[in-house]
A = this chain, B = another copy of it.
């Protein structure tokens, strides 16, 4: 089993930063930690990497256990390895962040973990170095969303341009000119206009759009410029 002799083996955890958008606010899914140390304190959802399991698989397992969801957008963020980060025993944490439509899943949360959504402006005190993780994830989200069409992962399949603009404004904590915004978004060719309108948030109603999936996948890694003067906001 231990073929490389005399080397130290280390606990490896995966923690998930789960962003959700409810149409209004950007939120983070946190749990009450169920074991010592720091039992009962707010924490990111995480778990130890199991034998024979890749870290991607562990991240997906953890997200599935908490939300009942798979096929969620998720990417590795960073490996946190300060030897003091968990006071009980040295543990390396490989952090992932996920983006999902909060409304779709808000009723499916497993009770087992006492999970709750927190607006980003009202994050409670978190255990260990989880604040550092969250801050890095927020910075990464803003950075990446300014260049790539990543925020669509936070919206339902059908969404309106005002909803999309709300989301951008929430992420960047600012406001954009709607004429320039819609021109820029539509010029990417990523969106398909539907005939149906959303009548919930105005009398006139706003047209629904959906992602052109093929175009989206083919051009996801292209560098776009969603945000005017990104350096002011990132």
Contact pick for A81, options B1, B4, B10, B54, CB 8 Å: B54
**For A222, what are the chain B residues with a Cβ–Cβ distance below 8 Å?**
231
Contact pick for A56, options B3, B81, B88, CB 8 Å: B81
Q: Does A9 contact B (CB under 8 A)?
A: yes
Find the B residue at minimum CB distance from A37: B3
Main SS of the interface on chain A? loop
Query: How far apart sit A10 and B55, CA to CA, in the bound complex (Å)?
Result: 12
Q: Is the CB of B79 within 8 A of A7?
A: no
Q: Is the CB of B79 within 8 A of A79?
A: yes
A16-53, CB < 8 A from B: 48-53
**For A11, what are the chain B residues with a Cβ–Cβ distance below 8 Å?**
4, 7, 9-10
**For A89, what are the chain B residues with a Cβ–Cβ distance below 8 Å?**
1-4
Q: Find the residue from A53, A88, A89 having the highest chain B CB count within 10 A.
A: A89
If A9-B10, A10-B10 touch, whether A94 touches B76 (CB-CB below 8 Å) is: no
Q: How far is the CB of A96 from chain B (nearest CB, A)?
A: 10
10 nearest A-B pairs in the assembled complex, by CB-CB distance: A9-B9, A55-B81, A3-B89, A79-B79, A222-B231, A3-B88, A7-B48, A8-B51, A79-B94, A54-B81
Ordered by A's residue number, 18 sampled pairs between the chains whose C-beta atoms are within 8 Å are: A4-B11, A4-B48, A4-B89, A4-B91, A7-B11, A8-B50, A9-B9, A9-B11, A9-B12, A10-B11, A12-B12, A12-B92, A49-B81, A51-B90, A79-B94, A92-B92, A223-B231, A223-B234
16 new A-B contacts at CB < 8 Å, known A3-B89, A7-B48: A1-B89, A4-B89, A7-B11, A8-B51, A9-B10, A9-B11, A10-B11, A10-B49, A49-B81, A51-B83, A54-B81, A54-B83, A56-B81, A146-B223, A147-B223, A223-B231
